[in-house]
Chain A
């Protein structure tokens, strides 16, 4: 049915081609017959017969070897010569027979056509340096050209993929890039922060003081840098400027504004939008009062470039020989994710939810699932089903950015019918990646087969899943079972079950390829940058190669520094640049080069900063630490690896107006003989050097002794070594006051104190030292009838506790009052034996009186 539809469509759009197509098929048939005896050849001329079968004509092949012509045949020609694609017109007899690069009947002729040069010696059909710039690709930059995909862009992507596979075969490092000078442009200027806070900063300052002073000041409990909510307008301004919280040239990108509207960060009303608007109005009022100037005073800057000046850097070679579904997420908008593999009918996925709310396209290629509603699902996944079960092997390859590492049971890529029925799935469980797989392994119970269990997951201790860009791969083969790779490295987690046939995989009945959830169940929050389904298990080396190939579009920007500080004409600092994510650019490996082969020597370059539009970015200036002298490590040439690398690091620089509007320059603290006069490190003076103020508060003069002090105090008062009550202390010490604050005292503390006191006193009353401590007590038995009798116990305790002999300090309890209480206690305890208490009872009374004394507030308070 599909085939018929394609034919019907072409009849509609390309009148008359139907009949020529029939002729082509007849010709192909005759070629096929003729070729049966010839076979393939590695000579420069390829026999025409036998190279294409009906099944091959719709399959994507990739060859890792052979001549350029071989690779053309295997990677491009076989994918475009079908009448459902370029071969319908771009072939002799077709409507576009003047450009027969898809000659369906003669691969040699097609190769000859597509590799020919035009009058200006550049190829009109393909661009070996930048496949995406090939003529047959850019034909799809507009609208109206016949396309086998849903969009023109998707066809362009298909062609780019095939051309890349042809000209950058597996195992090679890609084509050579020659650096060229960009269009010359000077810095256009903008607004800069004056050193002194302008008067109209007051609006921003007022809001900051009123709304942010609970945290963004130094002398509060939860002090949070930067301290821009301080009362001093200048100090506040300095903190705002140095931490890049306001963008004068793109005020709506100001962090003070975005934190409110994007992050709902401590909004002060119920509407963060309104609060943000108030902040933005204050920022605009300030920015509007600042006059733009051409260049910041005292800086030394390069010429200006933007991304359109960039030299496109092809990604490294990938292993896609068995890719049956490829998703690059280049669409940028809409509700469809295109399968750009070019293999058979594309397995496109439809996005669910609302763009911007539930999902979000990323400008640097990718899609981000924001809510559980945001997900994608195919409607016909039969290609994947049939491709994989026939191979009994597959690979799920995905570039992902999990939004967090707290989510669990979150399916990233699934071939499922529901949250409980699946053929395969790649999922995240906190910091673990998981693989589910249905197979015919007889050892697996049926119920588990349905869910793809037992799960293979990465070791929890390894924290393999991180909330950052990661290359995650699951491979499966009947022979080896499952393996998980993260960033090109095998995680060494062993599949709990052996591999088996995939013949029990299901299709139809709701079984579809899904991204971001399983039909709404097991939602995953994160970003997909690329997904590829292979009908083979990639080897470890192949996984590593695909990881090395990276993802996204990269450019080389050439910053002209000719004439600066003695650098000769043709001098550039180039850097690889890409959109890092929705918020920033990544600048990598700045390198000095001279395109005129005039190598400057003994010239210094120090302190490089990236400028965006009018000013140096206030944050992220990794290259500011560069300190290089051009000389012996300079490599001659004009390629991207030529010149002298100034830094191997990468700098993440915030976007301002977006990739189509932002212009970039480099500034230098020193370049050759030219030294910037701007003070990049203004010293702090005066108040700025004063450390954060302390926060003394009114505290009670009365405090508690803490746990160990209590034990030590009791030891001092009784003369009993702490080791003798160690068992009790070690059991209850956490029941004693941990801090001195009297407001923290609770009844359980007193219980612990009492128990400890009883132990000390019990030791004392049973110790040989007791007769020294209580010289007037007869431990063999005595009378407690009179106060004098009772004072025999009390006197020593009181003296030790309240320093009676040397004079009780007035901030201690009254000795008389305490004595009265203790006499009363002994009286009560000796009621039954007041005239003649036994020895054991005497010991008990001494112990109790001692405990009452040393567990009292007289001991506890200080």
Chain B
């Protein structure tokens, strides 16, 4: 009885506290100065309020370095910058649902580590790199990373989140490694079942900020469109010619690079599967439904061709600027093709700016962000610092 009364008392107490909590703070003003700027930079980079000491040091830094970078660097030392802000920015890139509500995984951890260490972020698409915990990495489960997350591990600690060579960790041949795209989680998400076109689409979405609808170009040469694509869906080839082909002409040309990758699993349990790479064989999924259009392209290797270097998608700003199709073999070289585009640099800038400032940058701001990003050899910390400084307020 007494316990019940106590619980009731506590409930009433907390309810009252809750209503007080709701009411407090409504008189927030928009006035700002250096202190206010420092507070906002910290809030938006670390996602948490600063301590007195940090705030004081940031105020000093902002006073001495009006670019805001020094102050931003202080805020980025908070472990929550990596463990919360960066993590929640990259988590949607690791799954088809594009949800942030997913367990920490090797793809996200590697992206976080690359931000922490200022690694050339283009390597996310082709580097032989992975970040692991202190335990034993498994190709067939995600336990290492869920444990890091559940233990609230300090990802800013280089002894906790450790940079390693992916090919040595996973056993994938070094030439077959393609940055985070060949880590377990990305493979699980985008190589599972299907035709591997998902890997291309989500790479474009997550790292070049372009969905296929924005890239549709029916004027490209459609000679790499595979047999499994109906040229007359529902008996109407005009649908193919004016819609489907616009994406497939470019996409199938490049998705050939993934022809040797497969997410292998048993017992209808893809989560316990692992990446399979066949150095000399094309995966069966590239040859399925061959009777849908027998005169379509038959994949025989992992070659790719980028037809989108010409035509309207030349505005992706492909590396080197050539407006003639480029070719290559394998996922790693395609990763370089994509990562060296201007669209890649712009995409990272836009995403960081939105994560920090909750808005898209103006073209002028974006130009500055990209210039500085390139000048820093694609160090994401530069983007975070510049973005936070740009929207620190008056």
**Structural contact, A809 and B215, CB atoms closer than 8 A:** no
Assess A619 versus B245: contact at CB under 8 Å? Given A584-B238, A648-B295, A818-B24: yes
The smallest C-beta distance from A548 to any residue of chain B, in angstroms, reads 10
With A648-B295, A754-B14, A829-B16 as contacts: A813 and B28 at CB distance below 8 Å: yes
The reply to whether the CB of B213 lies closer than 8 angstroms to some CB of chain A is yes
Which among B27, B36, B236 has the greatest number of chain A C-beta atoms within 10 A? B236
A85 within 8 A of partner (CB): no
A47 at the interface (CB under 8 A from B): no
A171 at the interface (CB under 8 A from B): no
Distance in Å from the Cβ of A855 to the closest Cβ of chain B? 4
Complex Cα distance, B214 from A402, in Å, reads 29
Nearest CB in chain B: distance from A277 CB, A:
20
Q: Is the CB of A734 within 8 A of B234?
A: no
Option from B24, B83, B236 in Cβ contact (under 8 Å) with A856: B24
Beta-carbon contacts under 8 Å, A78-98 to B:
none
25 A-B pairs whose Cβ atoms sit less than 8 Å apart in the complex = A224-B216, A243-B246, A244-B242, A468-B232, A469-B235, A583-B236, A622-B221, A624-B223, A625-B223, A688-B312, A696-B360, A706-B47, A709-B84, A712-B83, A741-B358, A757-B21, A809-B32, A811-B30, A813-B28, A852-B17, A853-B24, A855-B18, A857-B28, A859-B49, A862-B40
A733 at the interface (CB under 8 A from B): yes
Quick check: B241 and A404 within 8 Å, CB to CB?
no
Tell me whether A801 and B49 are in contact (CB under 8 A).
yes
A457-506 residues at the B interface, CB under 8 angstroms: 466-471, 487-489
A563 within 8 Å of B (CB atoms):
no
Contacts A734-B101, A821-B23, A847-B13 known; 14 new A-B pairs at CB < 8 A: A227-B312, A242-B219, A255-B242, A619-B241, A688-B312, A691-B317, A712-B80, A716-B80, A807-B35, A812-B28, A813-B25, A829-B16, A855-B18, A861-B25
Number of interface residues, chain A, beta carbon within 8 A? 132
**A105–chain B nearest beta-carbon distance, Å:** 48
**A323 an interface residue at 8 Å Cβ cutoff?**
no
A705 touching B221 by the CB < 8 A rule?
A: no
Q: Which residues from chain B contact A697 at a C-beta distance below 8 Å?
A: 359-360
Q: A466 and B24 in contact (CB under 8 A), knowing A692-B214, A696-B362?
A: no
Bound-state CA distance A626–B216 (Å) is: 23
With a CB–CB cut-off of 8 A, which chain A residues contact B29? 810-811
- Of A1-9, A381-389, A596-604, A720-728, the one contacting chain B is A720-728
Chain B positions within 8 Å of A526 at CB level: 234-235
Tell me, in angstroms, the Cα distance from A712 to B81 when the chains sit together: 10
Known contacts A652-B241, A811-B31; decide if A243 and B218 are in contact (CB<8 Å): yes
Whether the Cβ atoms of A225 and B215 lie closer than 8 Å is yes
CA distance A805 to B50 in the complex (A): 12
Contact: B14 with A848, CB < 8 Å? yes
Docked CA distance A693–B367 (Å): 12
Q: Are A738 and B20 interface neighbours, CB within 8 A? A: no
Q: Are A224 and B213 in touch, CB under 8 angstroms?
A: yes
Bound: A822/B25 CA distance, A: 12
* A650-B296, A701-B30 known; A583+B40 contact, CB < 8 A: no
In the bound complex, do residue B234 and residue A713 qualify as a contact, i.e. CB atoms below 8 Å apart? Answer: no
Chain B nearest CB: distance from A524 CB in Å?
Answer: 13
* Chain B residue at smallest Cβ distance from A841: B9
Whether the pair A844, B24 counts as a contact (CB closer than 8 A) is no
Which chain B residues have a beta carbon within 8 Å of chain A's beta carbons? Answer: 6, 9-10, 13-14, 16-18, 20-33, 35-36, 38-40, 43-44, 47-53, 55-56, 59, 80, 83-85, 87-88, 100-101, 150-152, 213-219, 221-223, 230-238, 240-242, 245-246, 289, 291-297, 310-312, 314-317, 323-324, 342-343, 346, 350, 358-363, 366, 393
**Contact for B361 among A694, A701, A713, CB less than 8 A:** A694
Given known contacts A684-B314, A806-B56, is B13 in contact with A848 (CB within 8 Å)? yes
Do B152 and A806 have beta carbons less than 8 Å apart? Answer: no
Which residues on the B side are within 8 Å of A186 (C-beta)?
Answer: none
Q: Is the CB of A650 within 8 A of B39?
A: no
- Against B, the Cβ 8 Å flags (1 = close, 0 = not) of A806-830 are 1101111110011001101100110
Contact pick for A487, options B27, B33, B291, B315, CB 8 Å = B291
Return the contact of B315 from the options A648, A690, A726, A848 (Cβ within 8 A). A690
- A291–B239 Cα distance when bound, in Å, is 31
Q: Please, which residue of chain A has its CB at the minimum distance from the CB of B25?
A: A857
Q: Inside 8 A of A402's CB, which chain B residues have their CB?
A: 234
The answer to whether A803 and B214 touch (CB under 8 A), given A469-B232, A852-B17, is no
Contact among B14, B27, B152 for A817, CB-based, below 8 A: B27
Q: How far is the CA of A821 from the CA of B297 in the complex (A)?
A: 72
Asked, given contacts A468-B293, A526-B235, whether A620 binds B222 with beta carbons under 8 Å apart, the answer is yes
What is the distance, in angstroms, from B38's C-beta to the closest C-beta of chain A? 8
Residues of B within 8 Å of A699, CB to CB, are 358-359
Contact: B14 with A466, CB < 8 Å? no
A223 interfacial by beta-carbon distance below 8 Å: yes
Cross-chain contact A223 with B295 (CB below 8 angstroms): no
CA distance A37 to B176 in the complex (A): 77
A13 within 8 A of partner (CB): no
Neighbouring B residues of A803 by C-beta, 8 Å: 39, 49-52, 55
For the complex, give the distance between the alpha carbons of A366 and B234 in Å.
Answer: 13
Q: What's the nearest-Cβ distance from chain B to residue A32, in Å?
A: 48
A516 at the interface (CB under 8 A from B): no
Rounded to whole angstroms, the CA-CA distance of A552 and B237 in the bound complex is: 16
Decide yes or no whether A226 CB sits under 8 A from chain B: yes
Taking a contact as CB atoms closer than 8 A, the residue among A224, A621, A810, A821 that contacts B20 in the complex is A821
- Given contacts A649-B295, A813-B28, whether A583 and B49 have CB atoms under 8 Å apart is no
Is A689 a contact of B315 with CB atoms below 8 Å? yes
Interface: A261 (CB within 8 A): no
Are A691 and B240 within 8 A (Cβ)? no
Closest chain-B Cβ to A623's Cβ sits at a distance in Å of 7
Residue of A at shortest CB range from B307? A625
Question: Which residues of chain A come closer than 8 Å to B55, judged between CB atoms?
Answer: 803, 806, 809
Q: Which residue from chain A places its CB closest to the CB of B357 in the assembled complex?
A: A699
A residues with a Cβ closer than 8 A to B are 218, 223-227, 239, 242-244, 255, 258, 362, 366, 368, 401-404, 466-471, 487-489, 526-527, 547, 580-584, 586, 588-589, 618-625, 647-650, 652, 654, 681, 683-684, 688-697, 699, 701-703, 705-706, 708-709, 712-713, 715-717, 721-723, 726, 733-734, 738, 740-741, 750, 753-754, 757-758, 799-801, 803, 805-807, 809-814, 817-818, 821-822, 824-825, 828-829, 840, 844-845, 847-849, 851-862
When C-beta atoms are compared, the residue in chain B nearest to A576 turns out to be B295
A468 near B295 (CB under 8 angstroms)?
no
Contact among A467, A487, A716 for B48, CB-based, below 8 A? A716
Q: How far is the CA of A860 from the CA of B28 in the complex (A)?
A: 12
Q: Are A858 and B24 in contact (CB under 8 A)?
A: yes
Which one of A681, A721, A812 lies within 8 Å of B39 (CB-CB)? Answer: A812
**Of all chain A residues, which has the CB nearest B99?**
A738
B83 — which chain A residues lie within 8 A by C-beta? 712
In the assembled complex, the CB of A541 is this many whole angstroms from the nearest CB of chain B, namely 17
**Is the beta-carbon distance between B17 and A809 smaller than 8 angstroms?**
no
> Which chain B residues lie closer than 8 Å to A825 at the CB level?
16-17, 20
Q: Is the CB of A586 within 8 A of B20?
A: no
Residues of A within 8 A of B311 (CB): 242, 684
- Docked complex Cα distance between A200 and B39 (Å): 59
Residues of A within 8 A of B51 (CB): 716, 800, 803
In the complex with contacts A683-B323, A709-B48, A855-B21, A467-B221 CB distance below 8 A: no
Q: Once the chains bind, are B358 and A466 in contact (CB under 8 Å)?
A: no
Q: Are B216 and A583 in contact (CB under 8 A)?
A: no
The answer to whether residues A851 and B217 also contact, given A583-B237, A713-B49 and a CB cut-off of 8 A, is: no
CB distance from A645 to the nearest CB of B (A): 12
The answer to whether B39 touches A708 (Cβ under 8 A) is: no
Distance, CA A853 to CA B14, complexed state (A): 12
- Nearest-Cβ distance from residue A815 to partner chain B, whole angstroms: 11
Identify which of B26, B236, B245, B295 contacts A620 (C-beta below 8 A): B245
Q: Give complex CA distance A681, B322 in Å.
A: 11
- Flag if B13 contacts A829 (CB, 8 Å): yes
Is there contact, CB below 8 Å, between A723 and B152? yes
